[in-house]
Amino acid sequence: MTSNTKILLKTRCTGLPQEYDFEEVKEAIKDPQDGQIRCETLYLSLDPYLRGKINGRHISGSIFPGDLMAGEAISRVQVSNDPKFNEGDLVISHSGWQSHPIINICDATKIIDHGIPISTYLGIMGMPGLTAYAGLLRLAEPKDNDVVLVSAASGAVGSMVGQIAKIKNCQVIGIAGTNEKCDWVKNVAGMDNCINYKTEILPEKIKEFCPNGVDIYFDNVGGELLQAAIEQLALYSRVVLCGLMAQYNSDSMPAGPNPAWIIKSRAIVKGMVVYDHEDLRKQCMLDISKWIKEDRIQYLEDVTEGLGKAPEAFSRLMRGTNHGKTIIKVNN
């Protein structure tokens, strides 16, 4: 072993990443400086967020042509120049697509042996596992018998969401893109049902499997899958917007509200129905009348005289050419 093999981004991919978008280079192996370790990469994690980094659309920053491809990896320490790390230690770090990284020890975490295969520290025991665990348990707060729908259900995140939801006594419906994946979701991961969205009519199947609505939708995809799921939400349901597989390969942002901004800002989006807030009416009227009298609130009314003018006024309202609250003055 005399060289470090590195994979660089060669060109900014358009659409699906292709092999020719990347370039392999070799460099002489280096010795670690003080506070550094040299490692041998054992496992490298490939994750969808990397496509977002190439597009310059990920919160963790961008990858530019010529840069080492980013990625989390598990490595074994070969040479340590720090007393806290010894040869043979297993570490996890964001050392990227390279065979023999030099890692600053502040960027490396020693792996605690839980007696399961170390590759899982990149998957269910790692970032995707935490995403599923926290996204479901903390954000969606599942209750017994909740109906949970999860997309990309055979994937790293989705499979954990579905299985943790089963542990929490939920009824779980997965969505996946092949029959083989669906079989795994049902027969191995133990989810109650799985919809192949490529061969079945998704909205119909969601209705069939969730006749009383979806209590929790855990979205890893966005686009049409998100649309189909939200059409079948139960009252007081929770939607966790986690990922956007449907748009990562696209250079342009989709039309309409894009959940990317909600994910990025960690915003809480809640449904508002005025009928739920009748208990506030009295206080609301007291406050608003007071603010009007104090000249702290102004208002506009778009008043049309005569009931016969109602259709025209309604038409103006719906075309957006009203100015203020549309009112018909029927009688003096």
Ligand X SMILES: NC(=O)c1ccc[n+]([C@@H]2O[C@H](COP(=O)([O-])OP(=O)(O)OC[C@H]3O[C@@H](n4cnc5c(N)ncnc54)[C@H](OP(=O)(O)O)[C@@H]3O)[C@@H](O)[C@H]2O)c1
CB of 128: closest distance to ligand X in angstroms?
A: 5
**Interaction of residue 131 with ligand X, rule CB under 6 A:** yes
CB of 158: closest distance to ligand X in angstroms?
A: 5
Q: Contact with ligand X (CB under 6 A): which of 155, 209, 210, 322?
A: 155
* CB-count burial class (<10 Å; 0-12, 13-18, 19+) for 265: exposed
Q: Contact with ligand X (CB under 6 A): which of 55, 75, 154, 163?
A: 154
Q: Contact with ligand X (CB under 6 A): which of 53, 181, 205, 238?
A: 181
Q: Which range of residues in 101-109, 163-171, 242-250, 311-319 is near ligand X by CB under 6 A?
A: 242-250
Q: Which range of residues in 63-71, 124-132, 200-208, 254-262 is near ligand X by CB under 6 A?
A: 124-132
User: What phi, psi does 317 have (nearest 5°)?
Assistant: -60, -45
What does the per-residue mask of binding to ligand X show for 206-225, with x meaning CB under 6 A?
Answer: --------------xx----
**Interaction of residue 177 with ligand X, rule CB under 6 A:** yes
- Cβ neighbours around 14 below 10 Å, total: 12
**Interaction of residue 71 with ligand X, rule CB under 6 A:** no
CB of 126: closest distance to ligand X in angstroms?
A: 10
User: What phi, psi does 12 have (nearest 5°)?
Assistant: -70, 115
Strand partners, 89: none
Give every CB contact of residue 210 below 8 A, 6+ residues apart in sequence: 147, 149, 173, 232, 234
CB of 21: closest distance to ligand X in angstroms?
A: 16
Q: Strand runs (DSSP E) across the chain, as ranges?
A: 3-9, 22-28, 36-44, 73-80, 90-93, 102-104, 109-110, 147-150, 171-176, 193-196, 214-219, 233-241, 301-305, 325-329
Angular region, 254: left φ>0, alpha ψ -120 to 50, beta rest: beta
Q: Contact with ligand X (CB under 6 A): which of 152, 161, 189, 202?
A: 152
Q: Contact with ligand X (CB under 6 A): which of 137, 234, 246, 262?
A: 246
CB of 285: closest distance to ligand X in angstroms?
A: 42
**Interaction of residue 13 with ligand X, rule CB under 6 A:** no
CB of 102: closest distance to ligand X in angstroms?
A: 27
Is the CB of 38 or the CB of 181 nearer to ligand X? Answer: 181
Give the count of residues interacting with ligand X (CB under 6 A): 24
CB 312 within 8 A of CB 304: yes
CB 20 within 8 A of CB 11: yes
Tokens representing 40 are 């041998």
Q: Would you state the torsion angle of the CA atoms of residues 227, 254, 240, 157, taken in this order, to the nearest 10 degrees? A: 100
Q: Pairing between strand 36-44 and 73-80? A: antiparallel
The conformation of residue 19, written as its DSSP 8-state character, comes to G
CB of 167: closest distance to ligand X in angstroms?
A: 18
Q: Contact with ligand X (CB under 6 A): which of 171, 243, 259, 260?
A: 243
Residue numbers at the binding site for ligand X (CB under 6 A)? 47-49, 127-128, 131, 152, 154-158, 176-178, 181, 220-221, 242-246, 263
